Amino acid sequence: MTDFERRLREAMAAATEPPPAGLIDGIRRRHRRHLWRVGAASLAAVAVAGIAVPVGAREVSGRSGPAAASPTAASPTATPTAAPGTVLRDCQSSEGGTVSANWQESSVRAGPVWFIFMRPKNGSQPLASGKLTASAMVIAITNGKTAVVTAGPATAGRYRFLATFNSDGRPYAMTEGAPGLTLAGCPAGPAGTNIPASYAPGLTLFWEGYVTDLRGCIPLEVRTSEASVPIRVTISGAGCGSSA
């Protein structure tokens, strides 16, 4: 190293200064803006693609039907593991953030799980084939709870959950997804969570990607334990529209 390079290195090393004050608060404010933009963009996309249909769609608690994949241990203190054939999303892979006021009105609930802003607007559009698309939605689960989400039998494996998703427009293949999703909420209470209590109290949020070639309102099943009957719900998809 030359003398000039050494002096340059020393000059850079001496240029240190304390980071800006309030950095953490700034990061959180920026993150809230990001979540708001993502939510607004998702709603706008759904609204643009939405088709009004006459039959009201409501979430249904199913009492029969084929069993979904079994969830793992429900204890919030146990290390969560993915049920067979599912993608695991746990406290470590959660996204902190806020949801707008009255979000429940536009969301679908299935036991401890919320599909946020995914309530179908006014219909249950039959499933049909369409272009392969990948998108994402916000899913929340009550802290301390575990559940397994699977696409309904009617989808015939054509709706899959992605372990990671980037909204950068790159194409995703159906084979990249898994037929199910294991959700494990952060431990109940403030300890051990990455989400400040003021953001989404009591809930663990996930930004979950999926890939599908279906159009219409998507039937899903949620199970909270191995022995429980699946809770059946319908969420908005391409050509279905949301109520938000």
Partner 1 sequence: MSEAGPPDILGSEEMSFEEFVAASSGRLFTLARLLTGGHRAEAEDLLQGAFERAYRRWGRISRGGEPERYVRQMLVNASVDRWRRLRRHPESELAVSGADLGTADDTATVADRDLLLRGLAALAPRQRAVLVLRYFEDLSEAQTAAMLSCSVGTVKSQAARGLARLREMTGETADRDASAISREGTVRHD
- Under rule CB under 8 A, residue 45 binds partner 1: no
The window from 13-21, 66-74, 110-118, 221-229 that contacts partner 1 (CB under 8 A) reads 13-21
Is residue 31 part of the contact set for partner 1 (CB under 8 A)? yes
Q: Does 189 bind partner 1 (CB under 8 A)?
A: no
DSSP state of 52: -
β-bridge mates for residue 214, sequence order: 129
CA 95, CA 141: separation in Å to the nearest integer?
12
Cβ–Cβ < 8 Å for 211, 176: yes
Out of 62, 96, 113, 134, point to the residue binding partner 1 (CB under 8 A): 96
Cα angle for residues 139, 141, 143 (degrees, 5° grid): 145
5 lines the binding site for partner 1 (CB under 8 A): yes
Q: Using the rule CB under 8 A, is 13 a contact of partner 1?
A: yes
DSSP-derived 3-state class of residue 117: coil
Residue whose CB is less far from partner 1, 27 or 156: 27
Q: For residue 9, state whether it binds partner 1 (rule: CB under 8 A).
A: yes
Distance of alpha carbon 209 from alpha carbon 137, whole angstroms: 7
Q: Does 66 bind partner 1 (CB under 8 A)?
A: no
CB of 8 to partner 1, least distance (A): 5
Query: CB 130 → partner 1: shortest distance, Å?
Result: 29
What are the phi and psi torsion angles at 103 (to 5°)? -65, -25
208 sits near partner 1 (criterion: CB under 8 A): no
Size of the site for partner 1 (CB under 8 A): 35
Our measurement of the distance from residue 132's CA atom to the centroid of its chain's CA atoms, rounded to an integer in Å, reads 19
Binding of partner 1 by 37 (CB under 8 A): no
Element (H or E) spanning 4, and its range?
helix 3-13
d(CA 217, CA 242): 9
19 CB-near residues (< 8 Å, 6+ apart): none
Query: In the set 10, 40, 41, 45, which binds partner 1 (CB under 8 A)?
Result: 10
Which region, judged by CB under 8 A, interacts with partner 1, from 40-48, 73-81, 85-93, 117-125? Answer: 85-93
**Residue 73 sits in the site that holds partner 1 (CB under 8 A):** no
Residue 173 Cβ vs partner 1, minimum distance, rounded to whole Å: 21
Burial 179-192 (b: 16+ CB within 10 A, else e): bbbbbbbbbeeeee
Stretch that binds partner 1, among 11-19, 57-65, 109-117, 129-137 (CB under 8 A): 11-19
Contact positions toward partner 1, by CB under 8 A?
1-5, 7-20, 23-24, 26-27, 30-31, 34, 90-96, 194, 207
